[in-house]
Amino acid sequence: MDESDLYRKWMRLVENLEREGIIKSEKVKRAFLRVPRYKFVSDRYKEYAHVDEPLPIPAGQTISAPHMVAIMLELAELEGGMNVLEVGAGSGWNAALIYELVKREVYTIERVSDLVEFARKNLERAGYKDKVHVIWGDGSKGYPPNAPYDRIIVTAGAPKVPEPLIEQLKVGGKLLIPVGSYHLWQELLEVIKLDEDNNTKIKNHGGVAFVPLIGEHGWRE
Ligand code: SAM
């Protein structure tokens, strides 16, 4: 399948997500059209990139399904200039989408070194080399050097909300994180930081299925 076929299929998926009310805003739609998922998967999966399901990436991990990514980006209410941390770089796709929404350098942290390389290569090829920084480390501890953040988006499932992530949010900032069991069942939580004492307001957006967040404030290996 050549690139124009891949892009045509991608456009159709984006239109479907919009029709289903999953993509709600013009800005998220524009970001999706600018950053097609096929640029962030291995060659053998490119022809499936428009299918609304997770796909395999190296190290037994996944690139999330487009509808899930759209739901989280709509909930994040990203605006130009926001400082965003993503936890779980994976392929680098979501971080590139975030960049398109904030137009400011994005930090994304990944614990698996092979995936750090995979994400960096994908991002470089797609034109995001200096726009998205892929950090190798345990994102359950956040990434203090660039804190405080307006938004933290976690794309792996945690047993509980990691305290350091709340600490690294600005007051009024928002954390999106799947919290629940180790094996692919969590609830998507929207955590808003209310004050400097780390009090929060939490909204539950229902059931989701992510790979586990493994680390000091996540699941043990
Ligand atoms: N956002 C990714 C994308 O756009 O392709 C998909 C992320 S995948 C569903 C979850 C990722 O979280 C995996 O790559 C996994 O290795 C990573 N991960 C798990 N625990 C982590 C941790 N403590 N710190 C950073 N990354 C972690």
Question: pLDDT per residue over 124-173, tens digit each?
Answer: 999 999 999 999 999 999 999 999 999 999 999 999 999 999 999 999 99
- How large a percentage of the chain has pLDDT more than 70? 100
Q: Judge whether 140 counts as a catalytic residue.
A: no
**Phi, psi at residue 120, to the nearest 5°?**
-60, -45
Which residue's CA lies nearest to atom 11 of ligand 1?
A: 88
Distance CA 152, CA 142 (A): 9
Nearest Cα neighbor of 58 from 211, 215, 220 is: 211
Give me ligand 1 centre to Cα 78, in Å.
20
What pLDDT was estimated at residue 1?
78
Determine whether 192 is exposed, middle or buried from the number of CB atoms within 10 Å of its CB (0-12, 13-18, 19+): middle
Q: To which residue do tokens 């954390």 refer?
A: 175
* Of the options 3.40.50.150, 3.90.79.10, 3.40.50.720, 3.30.1460.30, the CATH number for the domain spanning 56-208: 3.40.50.150
Give me ligand 1 centre to Cα 131, in Å.
19
Ligand 1 contacts CB of residue 102 (under 6 A) = no
pLDDT single digits (tens) 164-215:
999 999 999 999 999 999 887 899 999 999 999 999 999 999 999 999 999 9
Query: For all residues of the chain together, what is the average pLDDT?
Result: 97
pLDDT single digits (tens) 91-133:
999 999 999 999 999 999 999 999 999 999 999 999 999 999 9
**Strands (DSSP E) found in 42-118:** 55-57, 61-63, 84-87, 106-110
What pLDDT was estimated at residue 184?
76
ipTM score here? 0.99
Ligand 1 contacts CB of residue 115 (under 6 A) = yes
What pLDDT was estimated at residue 53?
97
Distance CA 116, CA 151 (A): 21
Distance CA 43, CA 39 (A): 9
Ligand 1 contacts CB of residue 87 (under 6 A) = yes
**Strands (DSSP E) found in the chain:** 55-57, 61-63, 84-87, 106-110, 132-136, 149-154, 169-181, 185-193, 200-208
What pLDDT was estimated at residue 221?
83
Distance CA 164, CA 47 (A): 39
Q: Which two tokens stand for residue 117?
A: 């390389």
Q: Give the CB-side neighbour count of residue 94, counting CA atoms within 13 A.
A: 32
Spatial neighbors of 51 by CB under 8 A, at least 6 apart, are: 13
Distance CA 138, CA 207 (A): 25
Which residue's CA lies nearest to atom 20 of ligand 1?
A: 213
- Per DSSP, the three-state class of 40 is helix
What pLDDT was estimated at residue 134?
98
CA dihedral 17, 189, 110, 93 (to 10 degrees): 10
